[in-house]
A and B are shown apart, each in its own frame.
Chain A
Amino acid sequence: DVKVTQSSRYLVKRTGEKVFLECVQDMDHENMFWYRQDPGLGLRLIYFSYDVKMKEKGDIPEGYSVSREKKERFSLILESASTNQTSMYLCASSSNLGGTYGYTFGSGTRLTVV
């Protein structure tokens, strides 16, 4: 069964901490994405990557950075966590092949910053 795996389901971090959210996919997908999900706001794109070592800003990149050193892994970094970054974070991947561009999502990481 193909998967996108997010390393933690729940995280509690303190304000000012550096936080790493990890995402791994086993489908050899070229594209990977990080979203945050907040009630009433839907899914908002933070960063995405179309290839190894490549990254592009999404709609809300402020306060975040990403790293993609290997094709299967896409990390989201909160340089200095703040309470307004408390949210559900979703990682997704997709392939350029076969004419279908649907995303496969991970189960999400619920981050609380206190």
Chain B
Amino acid sequence: GQQLNQSPQSMFIQEGEDVSMNCTSSSIFNTWLWYKQDPGEGPVLLIALYKAGELTSNGRLTAQFGITRKDSFLNISASIPSDVGIYFCAGQSLKGNKLVFGAGTILRVKS
């Protein structure tokens, strides 16, 4: 199936540091989504982006929908221990309701 390239695969950072992760695709998407999965739970939607160039914030999280519609990034500012988890990007093309997911970025925070 379609693939999203998500990087980095994992990060181990100091509490208070900023975090950046991104996803790229060879296909155009009309929606980009970012999810977070806490240990032992299902993924939860963090941010949804619907327009090329859109920049959206949710507290300490900021995400952008790339101009080319083939990429997106997520930034987390001033990380805290509860930011630990797996972050997934997901894209949706114009056809159908199916999302394509990235492989995830594992975030660990050292306090």
Contacts and interface: CB of A to CB of B under 8 A. Distances in A.
Interface of A: 4, 31, 33, 40-43, 45, 48, 50, 58-59, 90, 92, 94, 96, 99-108
A31 B97 contact: yes
B98 A100 contact: no
A42 B103 contact: yes
Contacts of A41: 103
A108 B97 contact: no
Given A41-B103, A42-B6, 11 more contacts: A42-B104, A45-B98, A90-B42, A92-B42, A94-B97, A99-B50, A101-B99, A102-B33, A102-B45, A103-B43, A107-B42
B69 to A, nearest CB: 15
A99 B98 CA distance: 14
Interface in B34-89: 35, 40-45, 48, 50, 88
A4 B98 CA distance: 17
Contacts of B43: 43, 90, 103, 105
Contacts of B40: 107-108
Contacts of A94: 97
Question: Shortest 6 CB-CB distances between A and B: which pairs?
Answer: A105-B42, A42-B103, A59-B1, A43-B101, A102-B45, A105-B43
